[in-house]
Structure 1
């Protein structure tokens, strides 16, 4: 608000006053200077699109990738596999171990992604890699064991080669033997003879069924029941080229006993 001060003049009348001074008091807007002191815990940020003063607006740089990463990427016949160097180095004499060591004698190329190029069947590489991971031979039903053996020999994994050969040999023996067959015998005896008959059976024979024929007769003052005892033993597939089958009587008696 303006203030008006009037003082009397020494040379004129009182009504001819002269304004000696006219002072205007106007409000003052004080703008504090930008403080350059940083406060702990506060991060300067850019305002209205301009970078902040006294600090950097950019994020910290990412840490560079460590050399000699433990992960390895393989391109096997166009299919990618990712595993660790520790897995591939299980067998020091294998091809994969030498690959991880960057053996100069191996002419191994890499594709545009940095994966090692291996010109082999990826379908059979799965059992190879899984064996190196957990030490067990697992082969899917749709894979041929001979194909796994071929890959194990290529990668020069001696322990896996031995396991696959043993499995192939076991399967061949099982196929050549064929299904197990049995020969049956039916023995008729009285009740008091059962214990002795079972205890005196020859080696290889085993008890199968006991069938009561439902007849009894008096022997002295006691009733004696009769039984049919069915026993069996394993039989080789052939004897002099002739295959021996269980008799029809044994089959009928066995079926009759299962219904009783």
Structure 2
């Protein structure tokens, strides 16, 4: 065998190796890849179907985010694929090895936060476009600052360019979710990525405490002085007046904005 023949064989061997590694390298990835192809979906089309980013779907299929030292997809993610692709959930759970692989709480929390932040940004932009809302509309309804709303919009528009660490570090607090949800006509649980049902309240969604109930049902103090029951009721009445004024101001601002729009 001459040297030229040897080089040709080595090149063929490398080509075959590259071809193999380009295909799904895990059972779950192969199943998801095959299902997506059968449905005739591109990565971006599949992303809309399962409410996950197209980059994450590609990584799942190729196995690049599914190694021994990384957590498998969460139950919620598998459920989204099951519903979106019309596949048995048990088959995906078995393929993912959820019944045998033990992953740490830290890994789970990391991946869940990434998925929820991704879903929040996707739904924020989608709902804003569906409802044809301006930043001013959302600011008025949610009472969040325009700067805060613009931050979410910019993150959503750059979603494809964000790394997993970028997604993890996006600060979406519970108060943001509860403030924005009414603007879009959806439940906080849906906007936060806890459910695929727009009107459902999911039990895992963090709850905000009603301040008036908290005052009445807890022992509290101000400036080192315990509040009596009479003090608590007085504070609650003051809060009601305060927020009634805020609501009245919001209504007036909305009326003014509409009048300007008509002109």
- Larger RCO of the pair (alpha carbons < 8 Å, separation 6+): 2
More helix by share: 2
Fold shared, TM-score > 0.5 on shorter chain: no
TM-score by length of 2: 0.28
More strand by share: 1
TM-score by length of 1: 0.28
The structure with more radius of gyration = 1
